[in-house]
Structure 1
């Protein structure tokens, strides 16, 4: 059996720089590695390690990582906006360490091995940090319940500043035209405009009900948010006709009875029509970035933008600060004078 470096290797096996194959196996936080000359030998070697592990005594004292994961889910993640991502990140740790490892057996050395594993998987610094945070939250839960004395330190990675992708006015017009060309009708256009001029997350828009609309004061209130704090924003004039029509159509209940899959299918077809299939940042969430960017460019202060967008921290809002008008413009004029 032969395999080149572009093909996918079985789980727990990776290429060695010498041309052979490395078998990785972690049991109760202890990482074992062994080099084999051929892929066949590596597969057999990993199977042998797994079989040997079954015969090892499983001394259990206190909580396992799975216990901490389940309790953390119940106390901190369940029903939250980021629940799905938190669970995925925590399960990555359970796959590496094993769900039955006692939390007391996850040492600082084991954390270092886990970090190495994440980096070797080609993950970005921000993704690595999210996965470490999920594990840290599980271990903190165990510590809060008297199941862990010392909390291992999480060696965070530096996160690069990523370009904030937003729609220009020209792109907005082209996107709406593309949706019309595809024959989706008014419903998709309504969604795009409301996401763009409210800055709502898609999940917030899907949960918006007619009773959350105040047509007398022209406001919208979203109750189930990522930060667990309801917020009310004015309805921009651009989408007032859309909101009024939606309220009349649904009577009661959800104004936009859709979901992310419904949205993504239609969005991807429009993106393809626009010739932007390779633009990985051209996604529905970009509409939220566009809203915040336009607020900043029109001189709205960061604290106001924070409240409008529903950010839990001003640090999140500050990613848009460089779009705001500043004294640098006057400085440029001074140089030209």
Structure 2
């Protein structure tokens, strides 16, 4: 019987006097050598002990599918974990034997993702997914010992937020281009700090409440944000013509907002700014709030689980710091004058 592939390994089989002897090998050449030597031994009358067929090697794709089903399925971060895990598999090769994983693979992942010009945090998410695959391979006995994954130290980069002049330019463009839907989306995002998915889930029922509530899928709990006068005006105006309390106030698909945002970005000559994206509206909300209240309150409004996340937004521009000091001085002046 010829040598044949079996998963990520090669299987050789020899039949003799009603007994079939099988054995798996990592390479085709090793399987062929064993087959030839075993046949020669049998023909010369030597006894060959039957070899129990070894367990087929698990491929990296099979390992990923096992982890996806047993470790990531049903978790809050399932979607992201699956994307990063499959990307790691594609980078290293789906048909790779899980038992061949090694430290050099973490370097390959780093080099590949860095070449895509992705952020440090993105690289670490890929490496974190790879770490889970390695740990599972160890538990299955595919790997003999663990090895260092080597997460990279993330650089302390400045958080991008929109200056008042940039926001003014956005709203002016929307008015001139009759982009009412995009304008309302920008205002609500700026004044609530909601993520895009949260904004698009707002219903007529939500708009009629005292505060705006949302289920924060990232933090895993609910949070409420009091509404500014202009945000309330937008929501009540959009809710007024609707009859169904569960009707969505923003009905366009995410792709629609991306396309219209890109048109605005192009017209405002901001195409070279790769951080000029809708999510920065949320960054701007947090940054603005830090000028008016304490960091713990901002943490709750933003729905950040860790205070360290909120603290990243405190590193704002010199202009904003001067503004904060000026407001404090104005307040002290008013107190003294009173």
In structure 2, the partner of 1:135 is: 130
Distance change in 2, residues 1:274/1:113 (3 Å): closer
For residues 147-206 of structure 1, the C-alpha deviation after alignment (integer angstroms, 9 at most, x for no partner) is: 76754322011222222221222221211110122222x222111111111111101111
Q: Work out whether 1:237 is the aligned partner of 2:229.
A: yes
Distance change in 2, residues 1:255/1:107 (3 Å): same
Q: Work out whether 1:292 is the aligned partner of 2:261.
A: no
Contact 1:68 1:139 in 2 (8 A): no
Contact 1:80 1:226 in 2 (8 A): no
Secondary structure, in 3 states, of the residue corresponding to 1:87?
helix
Q: Work out whether 1:179 is the aligned partner of 2:171.
A: no
Structure 1 position 91, deviation (Å) = 2.3
1:37-48 → structure 2 map (5 Å cutoff): none
Measure the CA separation in 2 of the matches of 1:273 and 1:103. 50
Structure 1 position 265, deviation (Å) = 0.7
Range 138-147 or range 314-323, more displaced: 138-147
In structure 2, the partner of 1:274 is: 268
In structure 2, the partner of 1:220 is: 212
Among 307, 313, 324, which residue is 2:306 paired with? Answer: 313
Structure 1 position 291, deviation (Å) = 0.1
Among 151, 154, 158, which residue is 2:153 paired with? Answer: 158
Structure 1 position 108, deviation (Å) = 2.9
Measure the CA separation in 1 of the matches of 2:271 and 2:203. 33
Secondary structure, in 3 states, of the residue corresponding to 1:207?
coil
Measure the CA separation in 1 of the matches of 2:29 and 2:297. 61
Q: Work out whether 1:202 is the aligned partner of 2:191.
A: no
In structure 2, the partner of 1:96 is: 91
In structure 2, the partner of 1:260 is: 254
Secondary structure, in 3 states, of the residue corresponding to 2:190?
helix
> Rg bigger for which structure?
2
Contact 1:166 1:290 in 2 (8 A): yes
Contact 1:207 1:224 in 2 (8 A): no
Residue segments in structure 2 that go unaligned for 5+ positions in a row = 1-7, 9-26, 32-53, 330-338
Among 82, 101, 106, which residue is 1:106 paired with? Answer: 101
Structure 1 position 237, deviation (Å) = 2.0
Secondary structure, in 3 states, of the residue corresponding to 2:221?
coil
Secondary structure, in 3 states, of the residue corresponding to 2:224?
strand
Secondary structure, in 3 states, of the residue corresponding to 1:230?
strand
In structure 1, the partner of 2:60 is: 65
Range 112-121 or range 150-159, more displaced: 112-121
Contact 1:166 1:289 in 2 (8 A): yes
Structure 1 position 76, deviation (Å) = 5.7
What is the TM-score when the length of structure 1 is the normalising length? 0.69
Structure 1 position 242, deviation (Å) = 1.1
Structure 1 position 84, deviation (Å) = 4.9
How many pairs are equivalent? 277
Distance change in 2, residues 1:225/1:117 (3 Å): closer
Measure the CA separation in 2 of the matches of 1:225 and 1:153. 31
Measure the CA separation in 2 of the matches of 1:199 and 1:56. 61
Structure 1 position 101, deviation (Å) = 3.4
Measure the CA separation in 1 of the matches of 2:228 and 2:305. 23
Measure the CA separation in 2 of the matches of 1:290 and 1:316. 14
Measure the CA separation in 1 of the matches of 2:201 and 2:250. 8
Secondary structure, in 3 states, of the residue corresponding to 1:223?
strand
Range 105-114 or range 200-209, more displaced: 105-114
Distance change in 2, residues 1:143/1:233 (3 Å): farther
In structure 1, the partner of 2:240 is: 248
Among 304, 308, 328, which residue is 2:297 paired with? Answer: 304
